[in-house]
Structure 1
Amino acid sequence: MRIRQTATAAAATAALLALAACGNGDGEGGNGDAEYTDDLTFATGGTGGAYYPLGGELSTIFESETEASVNYVETGGSAENLGQIHQGQAQLGLSQNDTAADAMNGDVDDLDGEAIDNFGWIANLYPEAMHIVVRDDAGIESIEDLDGATIAVGDVGSGTRAISDAILDYYDVDYTAEETEFGDSTEMLADGQIDASLFVVGVPVASLTELAQSTDVSLLSVDEGDAEEMAEEGFYEAYTIESDAYDFLEEDVTTLSVFAALIASTDEVSEDLAYEITSALFDNVDQITVDQGASIDIEEALYGIGDIPLHPGAERYFEEQDIEIP
């Protein structure tokens, strides 16, 4: 497999490795002792996906409902967000649950194997589905047909790459990897620079809807049995993208999914502020206009948490709401 990174991706790789290298080496976060702040940086994702606009709307809610100031910023995604929280460059972040779990164990390559343990779970927000998008004129009708293709597999620092690898390795696909942000990958697909784009995002995603208006594209389906087997081996779930999710779909698509979670620093976000943020989230769900907001439900707030620790403030809130804590 050959990998070609964009200049931005290469810079992101260097930045992530630098973040990990700057750690204190004992598993503690960047600050060591807690130094709480109300001036929060919220690490989101690329502008072409759901994390960035959702982070913007959540920032507005948190600023209006708490005493904190919240600045949301574009990032490469889950792994980068965890790295920024680890080093105190961000206090809030969005992350796939599988990436967060791997980061706790030092199993994220983009973080140079550094174990990240200074963050806590606030809430599961919505499921994120793997989309395997191909141009109709590429003659690709199955995942096996991707052999020899040039494929966008997610940005450096995103959680997409791990699931991309899991699927492509499972089917033993030999390919050239393009590491780039999801929005850029749709443009590259439209221009014929790549044959396929794999990305993990909430359903539906506007960028794909826009792409389909100018370019004939399809979503590849994973065999249901294969999806179940891969789900057993990783932090994934088999998932169905319904045919009415996108106008160009004619039938349901089977794929893998993870959960998008809101996380917060335990070094710099106090229990009281995390409690207020958790309360603000669920008290103001009706203010969220992005499609993924419809999936935010307090009854599902702990889906996918696994062994990831709850932030003490979120734990207090859920206890008061009689939400069973795993």
Structure 2
Amino acid sequence: MKRKQKFLMAAFVLTLSLLLAACGGDKNADNGKQSGENDGGKKDYGIKFLTIASGGTGGTYYPLGGTFATLIGDATGIEANSITSNASAENMASIQKEDVEVAFTQTDIATYATEGTNMFEEKIDNVQGLGTLYPETIQIVALKGSGIETVADLKGKTVSVGEAGSGTRANAEQILEMYDMSVEDVKARNLSFDDSSTGLQDGTIDAAFITAGTPTGAVEGLSATKDVIIVPLDNDKIEALIEKYPYYAKETIPEGTYGADHEVETVAVQAMLVVRSDLTEDLVYDMTKAIFENTDKIGHAKGELIKTENALNGMGIDIHPGAQKYFDEKGVKAE
């Protein structure tokens, strides 16, 4: 009888030990999982899909958008994709409607959106900056032999001033203003970059305003078959424009661009990425890191201009805490 009791007691102790070991193993397994991770070992950012609003296929946003989607997807495990759009102003509206999570825009358009001015009837209050990227050059494109050599020559001509409500349209209005003109002084057409290129090629328009990083795909395509010129801005007009609208900066288009044999003086705003303010700090931090630490993987020429140390310059709107955390770690300050 005593032997049986000893046997039962030993069995009980052994069973209890196994149970405690199993519990301890489960606890250690849980502790081995990083905070915020899901069962797949990836962080749980609260979303599984992410959409980047870029621009038209003839601009610079479109190819960059595809690259950024790949970089973000590889870094986070989120299914990221880039979609075409009418660019800056439409992208800000898409952020407001929560149709997209990330968007390209111009710094001037981002400012208008958060202030509820210009083409925005109300403030967009759910957007924050991720980082500025590179200069968006205002290019007034015409064909050689068109008789258009100065901005003043645009008067009475058929001119694409950008799509309705676009950043390009706002740039055209402000530059024409410096020359005591308005869009009513030209035969204005609201065309995309690709349609502007086609219009110049077939002669249905005389000139086009195009705001994009140079070289711009649509203009490069045109210059392959036609001799193009970029109409320069006069220095005094550039100074007056910057004084009234401080988000502009003087910009020089290098010799050789589109086959030109000389430099062209014009102005630029900054391209930037914005995000919805409800995205988590972890997600935006990892997105920012993925982009700015992999610029060597950007095939477009503008990749050389996208630098961490410049990413806060000219932003003009509040930065997302996740992006701010990354730039703080890098010691980046706005100039």
TM over 0.5: yes
**CA–CA distance in 1 between the matches of 2:220 and 2:145?**
18
Which residue matches 1:69? 79
Tell me the secondary structure at the aligned position of residue 210 of structure 2.
strand
How far the C-alpha of 1:325 sits from its partner, in A, is: 5.0
How far the C-alpha of 1:270 sits from its partner, in A, is: 1.1
Per-residue CA deviation, residues 17-59 of structure 1 (Å, 9 max, x unaligned), is xxxxxxxxxxxxxxxxxx9534111111111100011101110
2:151 aligned residue (122, 143, 150): 143
Which residue matches 2:170? 162
Contact preservation (8 Å) 1:120, 1:311: yes
Note the residue ranges of structure 1 that are not aligned, 5 or more in a row. Answer: 1-34
**CA–CA distance in 2 between the matches of 1:279 and 1:148?**
49
**CA–CA distance in 2 between the matches of 1:325 and 1:215?**
41
Contact preservation (8 Å) 1:132, 1:219: yes
Amino acid at match of 1:103: A
1:189 to 2:197 alignment = no
Amino acid at match of 1:199: I
Amino acid at match of 2:257: A
**Highest relative contact order (Cα 8 Å, sep 6+), 1 or 2?**
1
How far the C-alpha of 1:117 sits from its partner, in A, is: 1.5
Tell me the secondary structure at the aligned position of residue 176 of structure 2.
helix
Instruction: Go from structure 1 to structure 2 and tell me whether the alpha carbon gap of 1:325 and 1:59 turns closer, same or farther (over 3 Å shift).
Output: same
**CA–CA distance in 2 between the matches of 1:123 and 1:38?**
23
TM-score scaled to structure 1, two decimals? 0.85
Tell me the secondary structure at the aligned position of residue 79 of structure 1.
helix
CA RMSD of aligned residues (A): 1.4
Which residue matches 1:5? none
**CA–CA distance in 2 between the matches of 1:158 and 1:290?**
23
**CA–CA distance in 1 between the matches of 2:171 and 2:309?**
26
**Equivalent residues in 2 for 1:106-145, closer than 5 Å:** 106-109=116-119, 111=120, 113-145=121-153
Amino acid at match of 1:155: E
Tell me the secondary structure at the aligned position of residue 115 of structure 1.
coil
Which residue matches 1:19? none
TM-score scaled to structure 2, two decimals? 0.83
Note the residue ranges of structure 2 that are not aligned, 5 or more in a row. Answer: 1-44
Instruction: Go from structure 1 to structure 2 and tell me whether the alpha carbon gap of 1:320 and 1:131 turns closer, same or farther (over 3 Å shift).
Output: same
How far the C-alpha of 1:227 sits from its partner, in A, is: 0.5
1:221 to 2:229 alignment = no
Please say which structure displays the higher CA radius of gyration: 2
Amino acid at match of 1:97: T
1:318 to 2:330 alignment = no
How far the C-alpha of 1:246 sits from its partner, in A, is: 2.7
Tell me the secondary structure at the aligned position of residue 315 of structure 2.
coil
Deviates more, 1:42-51 or 1:203-212: 203-212
Contact preservation (8 Å) 1:108, 1:114: no
How far the C-alpha of 1:147 sits from its partner, in A, is: 0.5
**Equivalent residues in 2 for 1:1-326, closer than 5 Å:** 36-109=46-119, 111=120, 113-173=121-181, 174-234=185-245, 235-247=247-259, 249-267=260-278, 269-306=279-316, 308-325=317-334
Identity of aligned residues (%): 38
Per-residue CA deviation, residues 200-257 of structure 1 (Å, 9 max, x unaligned), is 111112321221121122111001121121011112111111113231x121111110
Contact preservation (8 Å) 1:149, 1:175: yes
Instruction: Go from structure 1 to structure 2 and tell me whether the alpha carbon gap of 1:325 and 1:132 turns closer, same or farther (over 3 Å shift).
Output: closer
**CA–CA distance in 1 between the matches of 2:91 and 2:312?**
20
Contact preservation (8 Å) 2:285, 2:325: yes
Amino acid at match of 1:203: T
Count matched residues. Answer: 287
Per-residue CA deviation, residues 259-293 of structure 1 (Å, 9 max, x unaligned), is 000111012x2111000000001121110001111
Instruction: Go from structure 1 to structure 2 and tell me whether the alpha carbon gap of 1:278 and 1:101 turns closer, same or farther (over 3 Å shift).
Output: same
Amino acid at match of 2:84: E
